Amino acid sequence: MSRYAALREHDDTSNADHIIVLHDLTWEDYERLLEIRGDRSAPRISYLEGEVEIMSPSKDHEQIKSYIGHLLETWCIDRGIEVRPFGSWTLTREENERAAEADECYTFGTEPRESPQLAIEVEWTRGGIDKLEIYRRLGVDEVWYWRKGAIEIYVLTEGMFTRTERSQLLPDLDVALLASVLDRETLTQAVRDFRKALERIAGRS
């Protein structure tokens, strides 16, 4: 089986990412968990109205999120688009009892922002709490979800997330094409093949 097929058909019901969901925790309990973890980027901790998800990402999870991030950054740099990466920036809003740490997150342009415009999530293991609901309350403009080889795009419109075919933040980016090179053995190969595919498309237009 090719790696591309393996990504599309892998068993996302196993606990490869080691997800634990705790119930009936207060905001103070969540803050204590952050203190115990310290400055490390893992495990990633999310909070939604008394529920806490603690997730330790697997090697495959981390590779995919890194590939997506680097390919996105490559595309922006090649086109002169100002982009700022913030990794797993801890986003919190105590009054709404919401907190999340995306796999990757970004702002675009040079204007300082209090929250990311784009959050990227890899769902290598299904389960956990509703991250879209968290991002909705946090006011994140757009969320990309990688699931079984494909990237789903959700855009915040009138306070609700709507699934769309193209990014609203980066409408010229072919996200499906980006997802198609995530099976490469190295990031170097993925970036090279992504650029070649974009050049072929530009040559036909």
Burial class of residue 160 in the structure, from the number of CB atoms within 10 Å of its CB (0-12 exposed, 13-18 middle, 19+ buried): exposed
Q: Coil, strand or helix: which one is 120?
A: strand
pLDDT bracket for residue 105 (50, 70, 90): very high
Measured between alpha carbons, how far is 14 from 188 in angstroms, rounded to an integer? Answer: 29
Higher pLDDT, 200 or 1: 200
Alpha helix locations (H) across 38-124? Answer: 59-78
Q: Quote the pLDDT of residue 11.
A: 58
pTM of the model: 0.91
**Domain with 195 in it:** 3-204
Of residues 11, 9, 21, 10, the one with CA closest to residue 127: 21
Q: Where residue 91 sits, what CATH number does that domain have?
A: 3.90.1570
Q: Which residue has the tokens 């990412």?
A: 17
The answer on pLDDT for 107 being more than 70 is yes
Measured between alpha carbons, how far is 164 from 31 in angstroms, rounded to an integer? Answer: 34
Which run of H or E residues covers position 9?
helix 3-9
113-132: per-residue pLDDT in tens?
Answer: 989 999 999 998 777 899 99
Higher pLDDT, 35 or 203: 35
| Total domains in the fold of the chain | 1
